[in-house]
C-alpha cells in the first residue's frame, strides 16, 4: 500500500533544481516550441516496467511527432517506436506483460500494432479498411475489443458520384460500433503461401491463409459507442452509447451491458442526462460510472458525480458526494479507487474507499500530477508530475524502492535557460470575491523597479493556470520575462480547482465578472508599486480571447490587446458554434428569450468605446468559435478608427496545431506588443 508519508518523502529529492554555475541564456522561440515533453505513462501489470509517450517537433515535416518509450526493470528508457510519417499512440501492456500494443497509421489507416517486450520489430495485427478508433486487450490476452466507424454505404457513394459533396446539418455522420479481433502471434501471414482460385501444383486444394478480421459484437444498431470497459473475467462489456456521435449528443449518453456469451445487451443506466461508464471493480461485480442525472442545464460547470452500480442488485450508490471538485478516476484496484483532482493551482492524488465511501488525500507533493498508472496489485505506480519549477517528468514508484525513481530527464533541456520565476498571489475582486493568479517574474527581478505587465488569460472557462517555468503555445512569455516584464495569469471566476460555487460565478455574468477579476488583479500589482501602468498589455485564446475582446471594448487601461479565437458577439456565436448548449447553460437563455443578457456579455455591445490597438488571431476553419467572430470585431474596431489587425491561420480549427504556424503566431504577438509597450519595430525574419 502506498502511504502519503512515503510519497511526500520521496518527492523531496526532486523538488528543486541545482544546475551549477552554467551561464543562463534566453531561449529562442524555436527552442521553446521544440521542447520534448512527456505525455501518458503506463506501468506493466507486474509493476516492473514503464511505458510513456514523448512528443518532439519535426520542423522539416511541420508536425509534432509522438512516440513510445520504454524503461525496463528500472533501466534507462529507450525509444520503442518510430512511425515515419505519423505518431504512435495509446500504448497498452498485454495481460502477461510480454507484448506492447499501440495504434499508428503506417500507410494503412490507424491500426493496432504489437511489439515484443524482449525486442523485435513491431507489426500490425489489424488490417481494417477504415482503420480502428479505439481498442483494449481482452483479459486472456488472446485478442482485442475494438471500435470502428461504420463503412460508407452504397447509397452514400452513389449520391456522391451523382451530386458531389454536400451535407445536411447534424445528419451526416458515421456510427461507432464494437468488434473483436483475435491475436495469435504464431499465425502465418497471408503472404506465406500462394492463394489459388483452383488447385495447386500437386492438384490439391486448400483454403487461402486469411488474416484475422474483426468480428462484430455490436454493429448495425442505431446508436454509437463512446466508451467501454471489459470485466476482469472477460464475460461482460459495459459501454456508453449515444444516438449519434455529434458533439452535443453527449447529454444523451446511457450505459448498457453486453453479454459476450450470447451477445445480448441490456440497458442498466439511462438517466435523462449524461451517463458514462468508467470501469469495472477488480472482482467484476460492480461498475463505476459518472452521471449528470437529470441535469441538462448546468452540467458544464457543476461537479461531476460518481456512482457504483451493483451488477447483482441493479442498485447504484453515489460516491463521496461532499467532495467539492471534479474527480478524475485513474484506477480501481484491490487497494481502492485512485483519482486526481484540482486543488486551486495544484493537482493532487486521492484514494476513494468504496466500502466506507470516504476519500483521503494520498499525495500533494509533487504539486501537479499528470498521468497516473497502477500495477495490477496496486502497490506500484508510474506517473508524470511537476513541482512547479520544473516541467513534467515521469516517475516510477515500486515496493522495492524507498523513493520514487525519476525515469525521464526532460528538464535537462532547460537547465541553462532563463525561466519563469512563479508566485501564486491572491487579491479581492470588485465584488469582494477572492481571486488567485500566477505572477511570473524574470530571473533577475529587482523589487525596486516598475515593470511592464502582460496579462495572459486561459481558456475554458474551466481551465486553470498553474506555476510553470516555460510557457509556450502562441505567446512568447519567457522572452517577455527575459526582456524585463511581469506576466500575470488570472484564474478568474469559472476556473477549475476552486469548487463548484466558484465555477458558477460567471453564469449570466460572462465577461463582466471575468473583467472584474482581471482588472482587480492588475490594480493589485499597480498598488504594490510593481507595474509601469503606462506599459500594460493583455492576451488570451478561446475563452481567454473572449475576455480579451471584452476588455478591448470596455477599458482603455491596456496599450495593446491580442484576441485569439475569441467570441465577439454571443448572439451570432450562439447560432454558429458547434456547442450551442454551452451558451444556453452559461447565459441561461437563448438570444430570443433574453436579448439583454446576450448584449450585456458581448464585446460588440460597447464597440464604440474601443480605443486599444487589437491584434486578432483566428483559425480559418474554427467551428468552436467560428471565424465570423473575428471579422465582426475587426470591422467594428476599424469603423471606430482603432488600429486592428486580423491574422488568419490557414487550414486550422480552434487551435494552431503545427509548429511553423505556431512560430508565426508567436512572432505576430511579439511584434504587436513590442510595438505598443516598448515602441520597437520588429520584423519577422525571412531568411533561412
pLDDT tens for 514-524 read: 999 999 999 99
pLDDT tens-digit series, residues 416-445: 999 999 999 999 999 999 999 999 999 999
Nearest-angstrom CA–CA distance, 278 and 291: 10
User: Which parts of 156-264 are beta strand (E)?
Assistant: 176-182, 215-218, 224-230, 236-242, 254-259
Q: Above 70 in pLDDT, residue 631?
A: yes
- 22, 388, 586 from 465: Cα distances, Å: 30, 11, 21
Residue 17: per-residue pLDDT: 44
In what order do the strands lie in the sheet containing 143-149? Answer: 134-137, 143-149, 176-182, 215-218
Burial annotation 367-384 (CB, 10 A radius, 16+ → b, else e): bbbbbbbbbbebbbbbbb
Which residue do the cell numbers 483479459 mark?
139
Q: Above 70 in pLDDT, residue 402?
A: no
Q: What is the DSSP annotation of 532-589?
A: EEEEEEEEEETHHHHHHHHHHHH----SEEEEES--S-HHHHHHHSS-HHHHHHHHSS
pLDDT tens-digit series, residues 451-474: 999 999 999 999 999 999 999 899
Q: Above 60 in pLDDT, residue 336?
A: yes
- Is residue 353 within 8 Å of residue 323, measured between CB atoms? no
Q: Where are the domains of the chain?
A: 417-677
Q: Which of 68, 65, 64, 71 is nearest to 101 (CA)?
A: 68
Residue 203: per-residue pLDDT: 62
Residue 545: per-residue pLDDT: 98
Q: Above 60 in pLDDT, residue 681?
A: yes
Q: Which of 157, 252, 177, 249 is nearest to 217 (CA)?
A: 177
Nearest-angstrom CA–CA distance, 374 and 192: 40
Q: Above 90 in pLDDT, residue 597?
A: yes
Entry field: residues in the chain: 688
Residue 29: per-residue pLDDT: 97
Residue 56: per-residue pLDDT: 97
Residue 197: per-residue pLDDT: 63
Residue 10: per-residue pLDDT: 40
In whole angstroms, how large is the CA radius of gyration of the chain? 27
Residue 158: per-residue pLDDT: 87
Which residue do the cell numbers 481498442 mark?
135
pLDDT tens-digit series, residues 348-362: 999 999 999 999 999
Nearest-angstrom CA–CA distance, 140 and 147: 19
- CATH class of the structural domain 417-677: alpha beta
Residue 8: per-residue pLDDT: 43
For the ranges 202-206, 480-484, 546-550, 563-567, which has the lowest average pLDDT?
A: 202-206
* Region 320-332 average pLDDT: 97
Residue 403: per-residue pLDDT: 79
Residue 408: per-residue pLDDT: 97
Is residue 207 helix, strand or coil?
A: coil
Nearest-angstrom CA–CA distance, 409 and 552: 42
Q: Above 70 in pLDDT, residue 1?
A: no
pLDDT tens-digit series, residues 275-312: 999 999 999 999 999 999 999 999 999 999 999 999 99
Residue 206: per-residue pLDDT: 61
> Average pLDDT of the chain?
93
Residue 252: per-residue pLDDT: 97
Q: What is the DSSP annotation of 329-378?
A: EEEEETTEEEEEEEETTEEEEEEEETTTTEEEEEE--SSEEEEEEE-TTS
Residue 513: per-residue pLDDT: 97
Decide: pTM greater than 0.85. Answer: yes
∠ Cα 553 559 561 (to 5°): 55
For the ranges 148-152, 179-183, 582-586, which has the lowest average pLDDT?
A: 148-152
Residue 15: per-residue pLDDT: 40
* Region 641-647 average pLDDT: 98
Q: Above 50 in pLDDT, residue 319?
A: yes
Residue 686: per-residue pLDDT: 87
- Is residue 515 within 8 Å of residue 543, measured between CB atoms? no
Nearest-angstrom CA–CA distance, 30 and 16: 26
Q: Above 90 in pLDDT, residue 51?
A: yes
* Region 610-619 average pLDDT: 98
* Region 478-503 average pLDDT: 98
Helix, strand, coil percentages for the chain (3-state, nearest 5): 20, 35, 50
Question: Of 188 and 616, which is predicted with more confidence?
Answer: 616
Give the pLDDT band of residue 5 (cuts 50, 70, 90).
very low
- Is residue 436 within 8 Å of residue 42, measured between CB atoms? no
Q: Above 60 in pLDDT, residue 4?
A: no
Q: What is the phi/psi pair of residue 505, to 5°?
A: -70, -20
Residue 444: per-residue pLDDT: 95
Q: Above 90 in pLDDT, residue 533?
A: yes
Residue 209: per-residue pLDDT: 63
Amino acid at each position: 500500500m502506498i502511504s502519503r508519508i512515503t510519497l511526500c518523502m520521496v518527492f523531496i529529492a526532486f523538488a528543486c533544481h541545482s544546475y551549477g554555475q552554467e551561464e543562463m541564456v534566453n531561449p529562442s522561440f524555436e527552442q521553446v516550441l521544440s521542447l520534448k515533453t512527456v505525455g501518458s505513462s503506463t506501468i506493466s501489470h507486474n509493476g516492473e516496467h514503464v511505458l510513456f509517450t514523448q512528443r518532439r517537433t519535426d520542423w522539416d515535416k511541420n508536425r509534432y511527432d509522438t512516440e513510445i518509450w520504454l524503461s525496463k526493470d528500472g533501466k534507462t528508457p529507450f525509444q520503442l517506436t518510430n512511425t515515419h510519417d505519423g505518431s504512435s499512440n495509446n500504448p497498452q501492456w498485454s495481460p502477461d506483460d510480454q507484448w506492447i500494443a499501440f495504434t499508428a497509421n503506417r500507410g494503412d489507416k490507424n491500426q493496432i500494432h504489437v511489439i515484443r517486450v524482449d525486442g523485435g520489430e513491431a507489426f500490425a495485427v489489424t488490417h481494417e479498411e477504415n482503420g480502428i478508433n479505439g481498442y483494449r486487450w481482452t483479459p486472456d490476452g488472446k485478442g482485442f475489443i475494438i471500435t470502428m466507424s461504420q463503412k460508407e454505404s452504397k447509397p452514400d457513394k452513389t449520391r456522391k458520384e451523382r451530386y458531389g459533396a454536400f451535407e445536411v446539418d447534424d445528419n451526416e455522420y458515421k456510427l461507432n460500433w464494437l468488434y473483436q479481433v483475435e491475436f495469435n502471434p504464431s499465425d502465418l501471414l497471408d503472404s506465406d503461401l500462394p492463394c489459388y482460385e483452383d488447385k495447386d501444383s500437386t492438384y490439391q486444394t486448400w483454403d487461402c491463409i486469411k488474416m484475422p478480421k474483426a468480428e462484430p459484437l455490436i454493429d448495425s444498431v442505431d446508436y454509437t459507442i463512446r466508451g467501454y470497459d471489459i470485466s476482469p473475467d472477460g464475460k461482460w462489456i459495459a459501454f456508453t452509447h449515444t444516438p449519434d456521435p455529434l458533439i452535443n449528443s453527449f447529454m444523451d449518453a446511457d450505459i448498457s451491458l453486453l453479454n459476450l456469451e450470447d451477445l445480448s445487451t441490456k440497458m442498466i443506466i439511462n438517466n435523462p442526462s449524461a451517463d458514462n461508464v468508467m470501469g469495472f471493480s477488480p472482482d467484476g461485480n460492480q461498475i463505476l460510472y459518472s452521471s449528470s442525472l437529470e441535469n441538462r442545464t448546468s452540467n458544464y460547470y457543476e461537479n461531476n458525480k460518481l456512482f457504483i452500480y451493483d451488477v447483482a442488485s441493479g442498485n447504484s450508490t453515489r460516491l463521496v458526494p461532499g467532495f467539492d471538485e471534479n474527480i478524475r478516476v485513474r484506477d480501481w484496484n484491490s487497494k481502492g479507487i485512485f483519482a486526481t483532482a484540482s486543488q486551486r493551482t495544484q493537482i493532487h492524488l486521492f484514494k476513494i474507499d468504496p466500502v466506507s465511501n470516504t476519500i483521503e488525500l494520498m499525495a500533494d507533493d509533487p504539486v501537479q500530477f499528470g498521468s497516473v498508472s497502477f500495477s495490477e496489485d496496486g502497490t506500484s505506480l508510474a506517473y508524470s508530475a511537476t513541482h512547479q519549477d520544473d516541467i513534467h517528468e515521469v516517475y516510477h514508484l515500486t515496493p522495492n524502492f524507498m523513493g520514487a525513481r525519476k525515469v525521464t530527464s526532460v528538464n535537462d533541456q532547460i537547465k541553462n535557460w532563463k525561466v519563469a520565476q512563479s508566485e501564486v498571489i491572491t487579491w479581492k475582486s470588485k465584488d469582494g470575491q477572492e481571486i488567485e493568479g500566477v505572477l511570473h517574474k524574470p530571473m533577475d527581478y529587482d523589487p525596486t523597479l516598475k515593470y511592464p505587465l502582460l496579462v495572459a488569460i486561459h481558456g475554458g472557462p474551466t481551465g486553470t493556470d498553474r506555476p510553470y517555468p516555460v510557457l509556450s503555445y502562441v505567446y512568447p512569455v519567457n522572452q517577455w520575462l527575459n526582456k524585463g516584464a511581469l506576466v500575470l495569469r488570472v484564474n478568474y471566476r469559472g476556473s477549475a480547482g476552486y469548487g463548484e460555487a466558484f465555477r458558477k460565478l460567471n453564469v449570466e455574468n460572462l465577461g463582466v465578472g471575468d473583467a472584474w477579476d482581471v482588472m482587480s488583479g492588475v490594480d493589485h500589482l499597480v498598488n504594490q508599486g510593481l507595474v509601469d501602468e503606462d506599459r500594460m498589455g493583455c492576451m488570451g485564446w478561446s475563452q481567454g480571447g473572449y475576455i480579451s475582446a471584452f476588455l478591448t471594448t470596455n477599458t482603455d487601461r491596456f496599450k495593446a490587446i491580442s484576441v485569439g479565437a475569441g467570441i465577439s458577439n454571443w448572439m451570432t456565436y450562439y447560432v454558429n458554434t458547434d456547442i450551442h448548449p454551452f451558451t444556453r447553460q452559461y447565459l441561461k437563455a437563448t438570444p430570443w428569450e433574453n436579448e439583454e443578457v446576450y448584449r450585456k456579455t458581448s464585446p460588440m455591445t460597447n464597440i464604440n468605446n474601443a480605443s486599444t490597438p487589437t491584434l486578432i488571431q483566428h483559425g480559418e476553419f474554427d467551428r468552436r468559435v467560428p471565424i465570423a467572430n473575428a471579422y465582426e470585431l475587426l470591422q467594428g474596431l476599424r469603423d471606430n478608427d482603432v488600429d486592428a489587425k486580423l491574422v488568419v491561420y490557414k487550414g486550422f480549427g480552434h487551435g494552431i496545431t503545427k509548429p511553423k504556424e505556431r512560430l508565426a503566431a508567436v512572432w505576430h504577438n511579439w511584434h504587436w506588443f513590442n510595438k505598443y509597450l516598448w515602441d520597437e519595430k520588429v520584423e519577422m525574419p525571412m531568411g533561412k
